[in-house]
Amino acid sequence: MLVLRIFLGNRIRAIRNAKGLTQQNLADLSGLDYRYIGAIERGERNFSIDTLEKVLTALKISLNELAYSDIEQSEKDFVRWEAIDQFIASTEGLTDEQIEILRRVNQEVLRAFK
C-alpha cells in the first residue's frame, strides 16, 4: 500500500499547491497539524479515511478529483496533471457561464497551437 499512500500524498500536495495553499493553510482548514500534513504528502503516514475526509473537505474536492490521474503516471505526465489541477482550482467559485467561457477560450488557445 506504500505506492497508493505516496500517490495520494503527491496528489494532495499538487492540489494544495494549485490552490495556492501552504501546508499550514491546509492544516488550519482541516484541523490537522502542519507536520502531519507534510508527512501525509511525503507518504510517511498511514492516515485514516476520516483524516482523508478532513483534507478533501479543506481542499473542497471530491475523492474522485483526488484520484482521477493514474498511479503509474510518468514524470512527463506530471506537468500535464499539474496544469489540470491549476485549471480546476482556478474555476472555483465561478458560475457555469464563466466556466463555459473559460472552456471556449481554452479551445481557441489550443487551436492557435496547431
- CATH number of the domain that 102 lies in? 1.10.260.40
Contacts of 27 (CB under 8 A, 6+ apart): 33, 34, 36, 37
pTM over 0.75: no
Integer angstrom CA distances of residue 53 from 21, 35, 50, 68, 96: 18, 18, 5, 16, 26
Domain range holding 22?
Answer: 2-113
Q: How far apart are CA 23 and CA 42, in angstroms?
A: 12
Split at pLDDT 50, 70, 90, the class of 47 is: very high
> How does pLDDT run across 75-100, given as a tens digit for each residue?
667 777 788 888 888 898 999 999 99
Number of domains in the chain: 1
Instruction: Locate 46 and state its grid cell.
Output: 498511514
pLDDT at 71 exceeding the cut of 90: no
